[in-house]
């Protein structure tokens, strides 16, 4: 059961739309799993059967496409939280076509979407398909610091020592400090 407020869901959906708009994206297709849980407060796991929340960036009502056998009171409440229209589909229906028929332009897709759905979606979209990591992960990220929110050059990981830390005299631990046992010379015989 969700303890989130309607304001939380509206704020999250608005943040996803705002970030997508900033990146020139027209629609965001949110796949089941963590991204869906973040927006709806319900975990809807799906694998071979497509479950997706289609979010138009222009502010239109989202569309929740899911297998009819997964349409429950819980999924209806999840859809209500984000103001989504529910479109259940049955076996024999091309669920990807339901999604591609409602999107166009530049479409961002959750990184968790398996190739089973992503490849046909790419082929069916009238426009460009990109990964939604720059949209959803940016919005989901709660921790903002100078060095994690600024662009990183290629090949530099989040675990690299930030320039401001090494140049400001901060003590930055290295891997060798993470010993779990004392060095051999100090062990008792």
What per-residue confidence (pLDDT) applies to 33? 85
Instruction: Report, as ranges of residue numbers, the positions in the chain whose pLDDT lies below 50.
Output: 1, 143-149, 164-182
What per-residue confidence (pLDDT) applies to 142? 52
What per-residue confidence (pLDDT) applies to 154? 55
* Bridge partner list, 63: 54, 85
Question: pLDDT digits over 52-96, tens only?
Answer: 999 999 989 999 999 999 999 999 999 999 999 999 999 999 999
Contact in structure between 20 and 135 (CB atoms under 8 Å)? yes
d(CA 120, CA 125): 9
What per-residue confidence (pLDDT) applies to 5? 83
pTM over 0.75: no
Strand extents, DSSP E, 1-67: 27-31, 52-56, 63-67
Contact in structure between 57 and 26 (CB atoms under 8 Å)? yes
Contact in structure between 70 and 32 (CB atoms under 8 Å)? no
> What letters, b where the CB count within 10 A reaches 16 and e where it falls short, cover 119-152?
ebbeeebeeebeebeebbbbbeeeeeeeeeeeee
What per-residue confidence (pLDDT) applies to 163? 53
What per-residue confidence (pLDDT) applies to 6? 82
What per-residue confidence (pLDDT) applies to 39? 93
Q: Angle CA(134)–CA(151)–CA(28) in degrees, nearest 5? A: 10
């Amino acid at each position: 059961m969700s303890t989130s407020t309607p304001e939380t869901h509206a704020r999250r959906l608005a943040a996803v739309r705002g970030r997508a708009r900033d990146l020139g994206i027209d629609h965001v297709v949110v796949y089941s799993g963590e991204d869906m849980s973040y927006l709806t407060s319900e975990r809807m796991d799906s694998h071979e059967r497509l479950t997706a929340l289609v979010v138009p960036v222009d502010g239109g009502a989202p569309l929740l496409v899911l297998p009819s056998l997964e349409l429950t009171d819980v999924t209806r409440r999840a859809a209500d939280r984000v103001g989504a229209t529910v479109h259940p589909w049955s076996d024999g229906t091309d669920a990807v076509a339901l999604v591609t028929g409602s999107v166009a332009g530049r479409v961002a897709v959750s990184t968790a979407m398996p190739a089973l759905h992503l490849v046909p979606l790419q082929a069916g979209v009238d426009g460009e398909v990109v990964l939604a990591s720059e949209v959803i992960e940016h919005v989901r990220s709660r921790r903002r610091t100078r060095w994690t929110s600024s662009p990183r050059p290629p090949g530099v990981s989040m675990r690299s020592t930030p320039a401001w830390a090494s140049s400001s005299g901060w003590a930055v631990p290295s891997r060798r400090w993470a010993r779990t046992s004392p060095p051999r010379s100090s062990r008792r015989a």
